[in-house]
Structure 1
């Protein structure tokens, strides 16, 4: 059932129920049984009777909650098919997120019930955002059309990429059900600063004593980009550095952050505005209006994709992002076919004052992209301005003779070749749809090769998983030392955690979601699209070798032919349970299992 058929609130509730089922919240997977009714299948979850255990009545089974379900196959065996739960005893239907979560809260361990309250609030924030998006679509479409034209296939350069970010910010995450909500922000703040509205605003500037700021990267004058002269602040040269600050941070929690960092009486906000910027898909990262290839990643005291997924910037993640970039570049240097094909933004310049709200990353994109279409993968299934046609349709029309499957085919071939090569080095990246952009170039007229040139543009690789033993076996002395990273969780024993990350990010989010999504939009039958995903992955696996112990054999066994695949349990780890209760060492890498939609069990 589509969001159009059930409305905005119903569409959100379908995703919420499906996520709770997938993650086995209060036992929806493991304690329920299938009940067949005239309208379809329902899952029946027994509800314990409160108070003293009553004397059993012959033929009585107690009360239960019923969820209407249909076959899924992407992340779970079943998904919700109607936006409701039904109480078996009296037939009452629960049709809003608050009522449903209150009912489930009563079934949870008392220590976990606060997480259900928090998730109910999160659902409310997401619903408010979705209604705001629905009510402002025409306005935003008109703005994008006025600035960039009505055809996303012709939006070029990193400036055009910001327009694609706006479309992507209005779409739902493939897994996390309340992805459009941002905790603690009002509608006015969203309109002023969120990417889905494509605003332009000015950042604030914070003058800090030079000795209080750690600056990393660049040349011998690595702090020149933070100099008072560069910021237009006279009289402080030599004694201070000037850090850009997001207005939401400057007007909110900055005072407390400065006090916590011991800088309460030594720092000051500069009078007057800083540079003009436009928010990117991640919101906390903004592009300079005058130089769209330069982005500033600025901490925000909000959360997305879970209460514990805060948008601040821990200084160690800046170190890890730079090291992750060097790791990727080291692999590219060894594998010649990826040179000038897999690109990476430069993330080696950053500064911080030892606090997660007083930090900045200067991200610089490669030169030479002005004539290219630069499209985050998260935008591919978004509707273009003023139409229900998808961005992938417009890109296919310009670059692949109008065939969106040909575009997907090319993306999968390159993506799987690259990511399986990384796996052979012991590496998996957290390179999801937001962190990979497609770079598409139309062939020059009169040239001999008429094929579209496709490249991948990567960023934000601060959370990889690396099997250090495999990395050293393959790269020897060229391998990065583990000491270059700050987060000890990056390095793992064995291949399993690397396989899990490869599967949940590269396969599910960057491949499987497009097969199921394009099928849902009627572009091709699902079996044909899944065959395409499997065939391109199988080709990449074969290139690695499939003999005993070889990387290709591991991918074949644990991905292509596995009975089940790991699936992110994002609601559980991000909001419902504390880390102590969930056992999640990393809330973005906490898993349950789901069906393997690639597995072939019969004759091919």
Structure 2
């Protein structure tokens, strides 16, 4: 019964969300849009359009035991031609509206290969976690904003220094990811865990310290003063341990959970000595949650493994020892580029991530990050916080614009895009693209500095590097990049261009254009022209041999662009079924939303 020919009176499926449940409806709308974009169960490729008085629908014909489904859609443009228009999926025969993630995913699972159906149930559980977190955020937004205002001041534009930067992390953690619909959920963590340890609640807590035999720990670099490790006796352990043991910091969620199994796997269960719980350093979580800042010196961050997952159940928040080495290798590579490109020496700041230690297990590892001194007196805002609601009204970008760009948010966005694209296209000319998404890049604002607008980069362990282009730029005598992960290195521009597009263009530019337009801050066409103009200008600075022609062909003039398929690779399908060698770099395609030149 085609929708346009015989419209039916919708009936809500039992167990659907209440009519006043805004978080549930908002989540389902994002989930449906993502499933359509990623063509889950053929929702995009097998559907045919149908028109009804209320607008366009897509009809997914039933096959086998699967029933025919109808999805109301509207034009989108950001990484997909169409997205969900209403938070529902309709059964055509009965006219029943499915209005919960559980029901929608169960209906779509019937259209999927039976081998993939467990992934749909897993994603439904993930969505329930995300919905619980969203409701908790709604219930605590006002109190959290008031607490941040009391502590740091009522105007976020005045939040300066590394400690206040953590307040921006709190706002960002309460904001949806531009691509992943269930981003607020953290697998296996309940409300008490979130309130005690998650960045959206801005808590403080003490790390645990674990004394391990020195021979079992591999370490690199020296931690700054005040950061662990210290001598075991300084943490309340017997002095006899000072000679043959070293301390490894451990997150409380790990210490109270799977730590014993990790120690047993490494044969350390009877040789590890925990320090008294009250002797660990006091810390505050950053946006990534597994990374915490020292309360006594917030310039110092400690990245620790957690036995949870975010942005996909396969995207575990543990820390493989190899990623520690890769983060340091990525940092050295960026330092080599900055040394050869003088204009970035004062405008691109790099966190130091060369200090780390591990005991050969993904739950027994730690990395110490130190922010550059330039962050001390500046406003340091992760890009993920720019569109977050600010205490006192408006967005963070609005409030920053009042102080730093004459009240014009687009002028501040313009300054950000100009520097961001200049830097990232320059890296592309060296054969490098970074996984520098909104969490890993911060905007550094300081009117008193020689360069009032700067960037701060961190977490550089997952780049793509075209070694042919890199050697051509650095010369035959340059040291080769040493990465533990074999997926980092390649010998052509394709993987580098894909990462540049999906992260720098989509997440750090296009997402702001569409986000600001959705909030009626400016016309979408004006915002997209700004993105294209700044990208085109940056690409023009590259010669044809330096990758300029590649970016023009693959980004500016391409009819379609790669798009992250994060739900497919992160939860719905196993790696064997999806073929994803890296779940963060598994792609589908979407339309090129950048307007063509006149």
What TM-score, normalized to structure 2? Answer: 0.94
Q: Is contact 1:138–1:386 with CA below 8 Å preserved after alignment?
A: no
The residue aligned with 2:561 is 565
| Counterpart selection for 2:399 from 378, 394, 403 | 394
The residue aligned with 2:465 is 466
The reply to whether residue 179 of structure 1 matches residue 179 of structure 2 is no
The residue aligned with 1:188 is 192
The reply to whether residue 133 of structure 1 matches residue 131 of structure 2 is no
CA distance in 1, matches of 2:408, 2:59: 43
The residue aligned with 1:87 is 91
SS of equivalent residue, structure 2 residue 298: strand
Aligned-pair CA distance for 1:522: 1.3
CA distance in 1, matches of 2:535, 2:136: 39
User: Within 5 Å, which residues of 2 pair with 1:4-83?
Assistant: 7-50=22-65, 64-83=68-87
CA distance in 2, matches of 1:303, 1:517: 26
SS of equivalent residue, structure 1 residue 243: strand
The reply to whether residue 149 of structure 1 matches residue 146 of structure 2 is no
| Counterpart selection for 2:413 from 403, 408, 411 | 408
CA distance in 1, matches of 2:159, 2:134: 25
Give the direction of change, closer, same or farther, for the CA distance of 1:219–1:301 in structure 2 (3 Å limit): closer
The residue aligned with 1:272 is 277
Give the direction of change, closer, same or farther, for the CA distance of 1:577–1:479 in structure 2 (3 Å limit): farther
The reply to whether residue 427 of structure 1 matches residue 423 of structure 2 is no
CA distance in 2, matches of 1:224, 1:204: 10
Aligned-pair CA distance for 1:232: 5.0
Aligned-pair CA distance for 1:226: 4.3
CA distance in 2, matches of 1:230, 1:39: 69
Aligned-pair CA distance for 1:454: 0.6
| Counterpart selection for 1:319 from 320, 325, 341 | 325
| Counterpart selection for 1:99 from 103, 106, 115 | 103
SS of equivalent residue, structure 1 residue 16: helix
Alignment RMSD (CA, Å): 1.9
CA distance in 2, matches of 1:509, 1:248: 30
SS of equivalent residue, structure 1 residue 208: strand
CA distance in 1, matches of 2:375, 2:438: 20
> What are the superposed Cα offsets for residues 436-479 of structure 1, whole Å, 9 maximum, x if unpaired?
011101147xxxx8xx7111000000000000010000101464
> What are the superposed Cα offsets for residues 142-201 of structure 1, whole Å, 9 maximum, x if unpaired?
110111011111100111100000000000000000000000001011000000000011
Q: Is contact 1:205–1:245 with CA below 8 Å preserved after alignment?
A: yes
CA distance in 1, matches of 2:70, 2:199: 39
Give the direction of change, closer, same or farther, for the CA distance of 1:180–1:212 in structure 2 (3 Å limit): same
CA distance in 1, matches of 2:312, 2:523: 33
The reply to whether residue 209 of structure 1 matches residue 213 of structure 2 is yes
> What are the superposed Cα offsets for residues 283-321 of structure 1, whole Å, 9 maximum, x if unpaired?
000000001011110100000000100000000000000
The residue aligned with 1:54 is none
> What are the superposed Cα offsets for residues 333-354 of structure 1, whole Å, 9 maximum, x if unpaired?
0000000210111000000000
Aligned-pair CA distance for 1:550: 4.4
Q: Is contact 2:120–2:572 with CA below 8 Å preserved after alignment?
A: yes
The residue aligned with 2:535 is 537
The residue aligned with 1:437 is 442
CA distance in 1, matches of 2:322, 2:426: 27
Give the direction of change, closer, same or farther, for the CA distance of 1:49–1:565 in structure 2 (3 Å limit): same
Give the direction of change, closer, same or farther, for the CA distance of 1:224–1:239 in structure 2 (3 Å limit): farther
Aligned-pair CA distance for 1:409: 0.2
What TM-score, normalized to structure 1? Answer: 0.93
Q: Is contact 1:372–1:439 with CA below 8 Å preserved after alignment?
A: yes
Aligned-pair CA distance for 1:385: 1.6
SS of equivalent residue, structure 1 residue 207: strand
User: Within 5 Å, which residues of 2 pair with 1:516-527?
Assistant: 516-527=514-525
The residue aligned with 2:11 is none
SS of equivalent residue, structure 1 residue 544: coil
SS of equivalent residue, structure 2 residue 257: coil
Q: Is contact 2:72–2:86 with CA below 8 Å preserved after alignment?
A: yes
SS of equivalent residue, structure 2 residue 423: helix
The residue aligned with 1:588 is 584
Q: Is contact 1:327–1:480 with CA below 8 Å preserved after alignment?
A: no
SS of equivalent residue, structure 2 residue 68: strand
> What are the superposed Cα offsets for residues 195-251 of structure 1, whole Å, 9 maximum, x if unpaired?
000001111110101111001124999x98443255454412121101111000000
CA distance in 1, matches of 2:406, 2:21: 35
Q: Is contact 2:228–2:248 with CA below 8 Å preserved after alignment?
A: no
The residue aligned with 1:306 is 312
CA distance in 1, matches of 2:36, 2:480: 41
SS of equivalent residue, structure 1 residue 69: strand
Give the direction of change, closer, same or farther, for the CA distance of 1:220–1:501 in structure 2 (3 Å limit): closer
Aligned length: 578
Give the direction of change, closer, same or farther, for the CA distance of 1:410–1:87 in structure 2 (3 Å limit): same
Q: Is contact 1:471–1:479 with CA below 8 Å preserved after alignment?
A: no
Give the direction of change, closer, same or farther, for the CA distance of 1:49–1:466 in structure 2 (3 Å limit): same
Q: Is contact 1:420–1:540 with CA below 8 Å preserved after alignment?
A: yes
Aligned-pair CA distance for 1:64: 1.6
The reply to whether residue 579 of structure 1 matches residue 583 of structure 2 is no
